[in-house]
Each structure stands twice: as structure tokens, then as C-alpha cells.
Amino acid sequence: MKIACWVLRVALGLPLAVIIAWPVVCAGATPTARAYFSNSTATINGQPVRLALDTGSAISFLSSTYAKRLNLKVTPPGPGDEAESPWGKIPLGVSEPARVTIGAQVFTVPLLVANYGKHSIAAIGWPEIQGHILVFDGGHRTIGAIPKMVDTSGWLKLKIHRDQHEVLTLEMPRPDGGTGLIYVDTGNPCGVVLPAAQWKEWKTAHPRAPNIHVASYGIPILITWTISLEKWADEIQLGPIALTDVAVHGAKGTGIEQRSDYAGTFGMYALARMDLLVDGPGGFAYLRAKPPLAPLKPGADLSVVAYDNTAGPAGNGDWAVEDSVRLNTQRLLADSAARLAMTAYRNGNYPAAITAFTHALQLDPQNADAFLFRGDAKEKQGDYDGAIADYSRVLELEPKNVEAYQNRGVAKSEKGDNDGAIADYSQALQLDPTNAVVLLYRGYAKSTTDDNAGAVADYSRVLELEPHNADAYNGRGNARFMQDDAAGAMADYNTALQLDPQNADFYLNRGMTKQNLGDFTGALADYDQTVAVSPDKTSSDVIDASLNRQLLLFRLGRADQDFPQVVAGWKPGWEKTVGRFMTGGLSENDFLAAAVTGDAATVRGQQCDAYYTMGMVRLSKGDQAGAREFFQKSLSVGRPEFGPYQFARAELARMNGATSK
């Protein structure tokens, strides 16, 4: 029997976002600008590999072709185990521990494995090297580490921005006094990338800028040649820095380029037109533009020069990582552990996910995502206190994490702490006022605390944001019924079912409301439809509809003779206990004894349910006095949001001759 009065279910949908700037070769007026490759001897399990450094990637990875060639065992990616790239989502698996050497460095670590076709590449991401003081040498195309800072007098000083993407990002002052974000991407071999609006303005202001037809051969999901048109800038100003003699083009508006604070990207050729020193430990970068080159003639159209990025580094033109750069192998281990944990989580193996996330957190105690998903896994296992503790730790690390407030609110609600849940949802909405999912959750929590006016307001706000949100109509229908607005409730349920005619929850809620209003024929039809549209005939919706239907048939003197066989197929639990009583398998005393099993909140709901059920059985046998007594007891122990409470109240109203509930 449904103890909570109505159903509101919304998937959390919390993807673990990983951003990769995949190496793409760009050619044209950007001579020898390919990728940053290690000039040290790099091997995996003793075999040489091509190793790139990508400051625009949050992870380090190995291609699946390399993994196969090296005979590495790989845990395949589960559902959702993927990284975002400009070409779509790339599946990510995890290899067994591999012995990696880069110059004099030797370490053993599992590797993330990216599956993108037949091409072979390995890349080291920004998190593994960000703890150094790094020198980007555009003249020699190398990146090296130095032990301490050098004199940077007269250089532009920019703060390194730290955010969830964990790619090299600089905070650039805007002309309006705000701050924009510049991405430094050694996986992007082009020049300067401008936001779409700024790119349009720049082209309008420079109509005679020379064209560059750029052919590139990238490594997306589908390996294809692309040709694009760029422009040559004799000089371009980005905030306080002016670069000369550099290619420029517009952002495509995907991934990080969609951010409102996105101010541009420095690709490899842009880096060749500046001196750059990045003080990772200190949190600042220092930039100095190089002197101008000989200007191009106005209106010149540069010919296409195309490079194939899959053939391997050629000559001395490749960017190199010097031996002085030591990789953060602890971070590599932590990334791999977190990915293995995510695989278990996505596959629904929550005990294994909790164990794996705990291991990942031992390696990286500051990993907010690992705490967040471990909290989700604990919540799914019913460990609400453990989940709340993990979400609270996320908020210590990231005080503005909306998902942590949202999910902590869900866990508190599951514990029965709806006031605490509302407080967390309200904090989330202060940070993200248009978050429809959080508004839905808060509306539901308000209904459970008898704040139905507040619930209606939250659901109505969702519908302002998302006019076709069926869950909001369903939830508002529940709250309106609790406000004695039966007509409004039915209108909302009808709209919800128009939007989602296969939703079993909506049929069940409408059927319960029709039963309370005395429309027994309509209620039976909706209960039947609940069963019909549910793919899982043992789901809670089907069981609740079956119990409601059978009690209503009892009342009408038309019990379903197949009901005992239906109950026999249910898993052990309270609903099966109710079914056993209804089919004569338990006495009233044994039924009431079974109702007092569990914590206080559970017992209260089960007793409310038991008294209502016994009242309906008595009523079906013509025992009006006994039925009335049990209905009254159901009201005395229950709460208005309990379905059995509303059923018992409606039956008492009918017994008293009332025309409304």
C-alpha cells in the first residue's frame, strides 16, 4: 500500500564532466605548429609510445589501439563512462597497471583508455604537471620546469583560474571591469580563438585581413579532413596583451566555449608568439608578447598546407616536454581509481563503487566529484547518514556546488527531515534560481510539511521555466488536492497524462484522487491503466495499484479471485504483508504486530496503512462500526500526506453523509 500520498520521481542525472581538448593538426600560415610531444624516450611496458602534452585536457589517457598493441587488459567503459570532446562523447575504460617511463621517470599506474578508432596516441593532461613552475618556449617549442621563479619584470601577470574542468585557464581583465577566462590549449595547434560575438566584430573591423585556408586532420570519433577559413592578424588585442602576426578565428560555441565568461583560447601558434611562464604552485602566469614579424600584404590569400596528425612527430618542429617536468603520478593513480569507481557506479554495483571511491579519495582527498558520487552510491544503498556526510564534505571543498545541496536535500528527505531538505534546496536555488529539478524537489518536500501553498508556487515556477514539464503538473495536482482544490488537481493530472501518457505514476495518482472523490469506476480504470503501462509488473506502482484496486473491489463486493496468486509472486516486504492480510493469511492481531517493525516514521506509516486496510475489510463485510473505528485510528496515527490517511478520511466523510472530503 502506498504510504506516501502521491508519487514524484525525478532522476538526479549527475554526470561526471570530463573535458578533453583533443589534439587536432592545423596548418596554413602556422609553420611547424603540430602538437607538444615528449622529446624524452617514452615507453609503456618497455615499448615506445608517442606521448603528447595537452594543457587543454583534464585527464591523461592512452588510445585503445595502443592498449591492444601493448596487450594491456582493459576494464571496458560502462554506461556514462565517457569524456566530452569537441566531436562528441568518447568512451573511457581503464587499463591494468602499466609500467611507464618518460626519460628518467619510472612509475606504475593504471591508464585511462580512450576509444577513438584505429589511431594511436597517448596524452598527459594538465593536472599531472600543474604543480611545476613551467616555461613555455615558443622559439624552441619546448616546455620545461625550473626550480624557482625568475625575474618577470615588465611581463603581464594573470591569475590561474581553478575550476572543475582542470585545464590551464587564465583570468583576463575585461574592458568592462569584469573577468574573462582564457584557455591555454597545447592540444589546439592554431592561433587565437575568439568568442563568436568578438570574432564577428573583429572581421567587420578588419575586412582586408589576409585569409588563411586551414586544412586539419583531427582525432575525433570519425577521422576526417576539415578545411576552414581563418584570418591573419598583424596585431590583435586580448585584454591587456597585444599579439602580433598570428592566425585568428572564431569559437564554435561548444564545450567550454559556451561559458558566458569565455574570453578566448591561446592555441600552439599563439603560444609561439609570446613568452609564457606558468607558476603552478604560486597560482599565476606571466606573459610577454614577441616582437612583430614582417607584415603580410593586405588582401593576401595564403595557400593551404595540410598536416596529418596521425603519422607521428616529424623533424625538430614538434613541441617537446623536457625531462625536468616530473609527472604527478599520484594524480594519475587517483584519476584511474576514480574512473574505475565510476564504472562500478554506472553499472549499478554500488557496494563496489563505494569501495572504489573510498580508495580514490585516499589517493586524492580533495576530489569533490568522488565525494559526490560516493554520496550518491550510499544514498542508493539506504545509507542516508553516510550520504549526507559525503555531500557535506563536497560543500566544504566547493561551497557553491548546487548538486551537493540538491542531493543532500534528497537524502535528508529520505530520512524524513523535510525541513532540512527544504533548507538545502533553498540554498541550491540561491545559487541557481532557475534550476527546475531543485524546484520540483522543494515542491515535494513542502507538500510533506503541509506547506501546500508553497508547493503549488514551486511547481508553478517550474512550469514558467518548462511549460511542458509533466512532473510539475503531477506534483501541483497533488498539492492542489491537499488544498481541497479537486478540480484544479484533476486538471493538472489530465495535463500531465497528455504530456506523458505512458507514466504509471500519473495514472496511480489520478486514480487515488478519483477514489477519494468517490469516482470508483474512474479510479479502477486508472489503476488498471497503471498496471497496463508499467513494463515491470512487480514495480511499486503496480503493487500499489493492485492493492488499491482490490480494496476498492472489496468495497464494491467484486473481489478479484486471482489476487492471492498475484500476492504470492511479490517479494517479501510491507506490501506483501498487506496482501497476505487481505487474502486471509494474517489475523488482525498479527497484521498489527507486523506494522510495528522499523523506525518510528516507518511504523507510523505502516500503522496508518494497516488501520485503513482493516477498516476497508470490515466495511466490505458490513461492519460499519468496526470500519469507522479503524478509519479513525488511521487518522490518529497518520499524516495528511499519507495515501491511506486520505482514503480513511474520505471513507469517514462518506459514512457521515458528507459531500466532500
Looking at residue 618, its pLDDT comes to 95
Question: Is the entire prediction scored with pTM above 0.85?
Answer: no
Residue 582 lies in a domain: no
Residue 462 lies in a domain: no
**Whole domain around residue 56: which residue ranges?**
36-129
Q: pLDDT tens for residues 71-129?
A: 888 887 766 666 555 445 666 788 888 888 877 778 787 888 877 566 567 777 888 88
- Among candidates 448, 445, 510, which has minimal Cα distance to 474? 510
Residue 141 lies in a domain: no
Enumerate residues 6+ apart whose C-beta is below 8 A from 237. none
Residue 166 lies in a domain: no
Neighbours of 106 (CB within 10 A): 11
Residue 222 lies in a domain: no
- Do the Cβ atoms of 286 and 156 come closer than 8 Å? yes
Joined together, the cell numbers standing for residue 45 give: 611496458
Tally of structural domains, the chain: 1
Residue 624 lies in a domain: no
Neighbours of 266 (CB within 10 A): 30
Residue 91 lies in a domain: yes
Low-confidence ranges of the chain (pLDDT < 70): 1-41, 50, 78-91, 116-120, 138-142, 163-165, 189, 213-229, 253-255, 294-327, 658-661
Angle (CA) 497 579 522, round 5°: 30
Give the CA dihedral 439, 427, 160, 219, nearest 10 degrees. Answer: -20
> Which amino acid, 125?
G
Q: How many CA atoms lie within 13 A of 549 on its CB side?
A: 23
Which CATH number do you get for residue 88? 2.40.70.10
Q: What is the 3-state secondary structure (H, E, C) of 401-457?
A: CHHHHHHHHHHHHHCCCHHHHHHHHHHHHHHCCCCHHHHHHHHHHHHHCCCHHHHHH
Q: pLDDT tens for residues 3-52?
A: 333 333 333 322 222 323 333 333 333 233 344 555 456 788 888 876 77
Looking at residue 139, its pLDDT comes to 60
Joined together, the cell numbers standing for residue 142 give: 619546448
